[in-house]
Amino acid sequence: MRTPAWLLGSVLLLAGCATGDHTMRQHTTLQEGIDALMRDYDGQAPGASVLVLRDGQALVQRSYGLADFESNIAANPDSNYRLASVSKQFTAAAILLLAQDGRLRLDDPARRWLPELPAAADAVTIRQLLTHTAGLIDYEDVMDPASEVQVHDADVLRLLSSQDRTYFAPGSDYRYSNSGYALLALIVERASGQRYATFLHDRIFTPLGMTGTVAYESGISEVARRTYGYSFEHGRWKRTDQSSTSAVLGDGGIYSSIADLAKWDAALYDERLLRSEWLARAFTPATATDDPDVRYGYGWRITGETLWHSGETIGFRNVIVRYPQRHLTVVVLTNRDDPEPYGLARQIAALAMTR
């Protein structure tokens, strides 16, 4: 006996409703779990923004607390945070774009592009700058500690040009290096003929529709919907948004939002920016690090099935954790100097995996 069409349609409709209700309950449960984890960021205090992506869809895109404490402006998914070292993946992508274009080679000596570097850097290559294996002196160790003037990427090159030494023979060891990524930004400029910030705008941010993202330069550009950084000192929140190193772009000067980072994450699954063989280089373990569980690619830490990077600077603590095989990504951006949110992002990811 055939099932009447009207009855079959009713059954399918009920099944669809049941599936939709189940999906909604899962989403609600996930949101409630994340809200509980983020409770300390909510309310009248510097806050955070959280993004959970699965299969290209935002399961959660939510903000907590204040982006601007003094003006009582709430954080929202379009609030732009200073990414700190999460910026390094964009600097690495810029180098890979230029290599893909044939404008440079990863094994080029750094001094080919930056002849101001001292003789001790003769053996340093672009690839070693990307993987923190160049052994370059940390520019923060040779800055004038009494100066309140902000240094820029060009100042990093000037500081290093006076240091005819390295921590170790280039390529022989690993030492995390902000100096290396500041130099990479300068190499982007010299190989492309554009300012670093302009190259990122033209080749990455605009093509991906990341309209709020900027490599911020005081007096040149502005940060739309800007989030300010804070520290909790002597029982109150104090704005600690800038330091003497905050104007260095290549190692940490990009501002972005969870809304824009969703677009960035999507581009890491296809070839709209980089062909697959170049993307694979960024995500391939290139060197061991000082953590036995972590290896480093180009602008990415690699731990088991995850690709991730944290960013810590005065007033901001951020992290992006990607699980490419699961098509799952968690981003946590915060505008306070403590705590570091990597463990929190892993907890959020664990919640998402069970929903």
The reply to whether the predicted model has a pTM over 0.75 is: yes
Q: Residue 37: inside a domain, yes or no?
A: no
The per-residue DSSP string of 28-79 comes to: HHHHHHHHHHTGGG-SSSB-EEEEEEETTEEEEEEEESEEETTTTEEP-TTP
- Specify the pLDDT at position 84: 98
Asked if residue 15 is part of any domain, the answer here is no
What is the tally of structural domains in the chain? 1
Q: What is the pLDDT of residue 20?
A: 55
Q: What is the pLDDT along the chain (355 residues), one digit of tens a residue?
A: 555 555 545 545 555 555 555 555 666 789 999 999 999 999 999 999 999 999 999 999 999 999 999 999 999 999 999 999 999 999 999 999 999 999 999 999 999 999 999 999 999 999 999 999 999 999 999 999 888 899 999 999 999 999 999 999 999 999 999 999 999 999 999 999 999 999 999 999 999 999 999 999 999 999 999 999 999 999 999 999 999 999 999 999 999 999 999 999 999 999 999 999 999 999 999 999 999 999 999 999 999 999 999 999 999 999 999 999 999 999 999 999 999 999 999 999 999 998 7
Q: Which amino acid is at 280?
A: A
Phi and psi at 341, nearest 5°, equal -95, 10
Is residue 11, in this structure, part of any structural domain at all? no
Compute how many other C-beta atoms are within 10 angstroms of the C-beta atom of residue 121. 27
Q: Would you say residue 29 lies in a domain?
A: no
Which CATH number belongs to the domain containing residue 195 in this structure?
3.40.710.10
The Cα 200–Cα 12 span in angstroms is: 49
C-alpha distances (whole Å) from 347 to each of 46, 204, 221, 298, 304 are 21, 30, 36, 25, 16
Residue 27 lies in a domain: no
The residue range of the domain holding 306 is: 45-72+79-353
Answer whether residue 200 is part of any domain: yes
Please report whether residue 20 resides in a domain: no
Write the pLDDT tens digit of every residue in 124-169. Answer: 999 999 999 999 999 999 999 888 899 999 999 999 999 999 999 9
pLDDT tens per residue, range 235-278 = 999 999 999 999 999 999 999 999 999 999 999 999 999 999 99
CB-based contact 187:113 (threshold 8 Å): yes
In this structure, what token pair is assigned to residue 299?
């602008």
Angstrom distance (rounded) from CA 197 to CA 216? 8
Question: CA 332, CA 37: separation in Å to the nearest integer?
Answer: 12
275 by Cβ neighbours in 10 Å (0-12 / 13-18 / 19+) ranks as exposed
Residue 250 inside a domain? The answer is yes
Query: Catalytic site residues?
Result: 85
Rg of the chain in Å (alpha carbons): 22
